[in-house]
A and B are shown apart, each in its own frame.
Chain A
Amino acid sequence: MSTQARGGGSIQAQAGGHEWEIVVGLEVHAELATRTKLFSASPNSFEGDPNTNIDPVCLGLPGTLPVLNVQAVELAIRVCLALNSEVRPSEFARKNYFYPDMPKDYQISQYDKPIGVGGFLELPSGKKVGIVRAHIEEDTGKSTHVGGTGRIDGAEYSLVDYNRAGVPLLEIVSQPDLRSAAEAREYVSELRAVLLAVGASDGKMEEGSLRVDANVSVRRRGERLGTRCEIKNMNSLRSIGRGIEYEAKRQVALLSAGESVSQETRHWNESEGRTLTLRGKEEATDYRYFPEPDLVPLRPSSEWVESIRSALPELPRFRRARLAAAVGRDASSVALFVERNQDTLAIEAVAAGADPAAVLKHLEHNLSEGTGRLTAGAFAELIAMESKGELTSNQVKATLAEMAATGADLKSVLADADYQAVSSSRLSSVLDELVAENPVEWERYREGDSRERKKLQGFFTGKIMRLTKGQADGRAVAELLRKRAQV
């Protein structure tokens, strides 16, 4: 009875525990895909040895002056337009802080006059997420902490590599419009697709080309916004989902226990699966922003902006819709093909009569490295042959790879590969060799009971496949073995 009462009480508490709503806004830093740095001419590349792509400007040496990279501005404008933001006259500012990753002791950023204001990103679900602003800034160097646990606290000293210092970034700030960890992931994934589509960034999260900070708060449905925490260090879509989920649960537990959430910056620890305090509100830094005296205002002319707008490629959501209609699927299930730029080929192949399911199957599994010079016509013809059983799946795979690599037409690829021979005369001569080399096994195959025969059939089939590099047809091999052994 008491157990029941307790159980009932806890259900009561949950039901009466209100429906919690997660509120998330994201700050995404995207490295812009320029050839050189934002304010100087050393390469935008931090592969290879440390401190090799550096120059006096990005090292902050005395007497150097920054000059703005026009391509970084163009890429930023492309993103603003793709996000339906207003491109405004903007200014650069100095954000002052002491940390060795910026040798000047300030970072050049945009503050009260960012290049992009307003706008929205439409998610595959159809939801429109508001954009607050987008601003251009320079990336920092990379520090490695030595000694202690390898973390900043307790380190004996740190090493700094400035290859990344001065790389152009675009920081895109969303409205707190996201309502779940899954929706936050969807937003990042779609934003990444847009950045890739307009050629603004390579979007590689694991390599740090795309970095995401999340402002997370919770509230009882219908109430005003709760106190938020900023979560840093989520380096993949998966950790964004996990980090936000964890943080929301932490805040709900605090509030449910009658405690309060304190506004702070928290660090996502991937291996421990939790967020930890990095710094509190009272430690929030005063960056002493002021206008950058070494750079003049940026005022993109309307002609420039309009020429960029007219050259923008079709955005992912429109491409997904077109592909989805062509193959008879829903838009969210064809995102992969748009991301891989396979949508045009797919639509054309289907228009040439190919089975949509087969087109998508080959694009997903056999052409993941790219479709190269494969034409829609040849693709459709090959799929037709496969569906008639004229080619094995391995032959189709090899043919696709060959056509993608060389652009050769289907007939010549098939003729060169001599697939006919594999399935008849060559198969027969391969078996001749095997029988001669393995007389004992062949005898056991012919004379053995059904279990023995099955085992030896596997033995010979495996050898034939190896000798024909997997291009022999499994059914043809089984047929040949049976005929030859007269079993």
Chain B
Amino acid sequence: MSSEHRISIEDVAHVAKLARLHLSDEEILRFTTQLADVLDHASDIESLNTEEVEPTSHPYPLSNVFRSDDPGPTLSSEEALSQGPEVEDGQFRVPPILIRSQQSGAAAMRQ
């Protein structure tokens, strides 16, 4: 498969939009080429016979890493809130979540 088929300009524009990245047309073109190169590099694995290899989501041969259900140290409310740009009544104050013109689109971001 040639690199230009691995990822399209439309794919990159879509992913950028989902990630709230504001990219210029020039940037979208540049990143499309770069991402295609990365995918080409990863596709080298296609030349190997992986029939006997189980798919994995993780590079380490580890599973079942647990912690016991014991309460540990917490951050004090003051410490935590000291990192917030705006604070009110012991809570983090954030800008309006919906902006009028984008209301339906932003509501869609809610799970």
Chain A interface residues toward B at CB < 8 A? 34-36, 40-43, 49-56, 59, 61, 67-73, 89, 91, 95-100, 107, 140, 143-145, 152-162, 278-280, 283-288, 291, 293, 295-300
Contact = CB atoms under 8 A, between A and B. Distances in A.
Contacts of A285: 108-109, 111
Given A54-B77, A156-B96, 17 more contacts: A41-B73, A41-B74, A53-B74, A61-B83, A91-B57, A91-B58, A95-B111, A97-B109, A145-B97, A153-B98, A159-B88, A159-B89, A159-B94, A160-B93, A287-B111, A296-B60, A298-B63
Interface of B: 14-15, 18-20, 56-58, 60, 62-77, 80-81, 83, 88-98, 103-105, 107-111
Given A49-B90, A159-B92, A35 B70 contact: yes
Nearest to B68: A70
Given A98-B109, A100-B92, A279-B104, A158 B67 contact: no
B91 A50 contact: yes
A35 B95 CA distance: 33
B94 A51 contact: no
8 contacts: A50-B77, A51-B80, A144-B91, A145-B97, A158-B93, A288-B18, A288-B19, A291-B57
A55 B111 contact: no
A71 B105 CA distance: 38
Contacts of B104: 279-280, 283
B75 A55 contact: yes
B38 to A, nearest CB: 15
Contacts of A35: 69-71
Given A36-B71, A49-B90, A54-B80, A157 B107 contact: no
B19 to A, nearest CB: 8
A68 B57 contact: no
Given A70-B68, A140-B111, A59 B63 contact: no
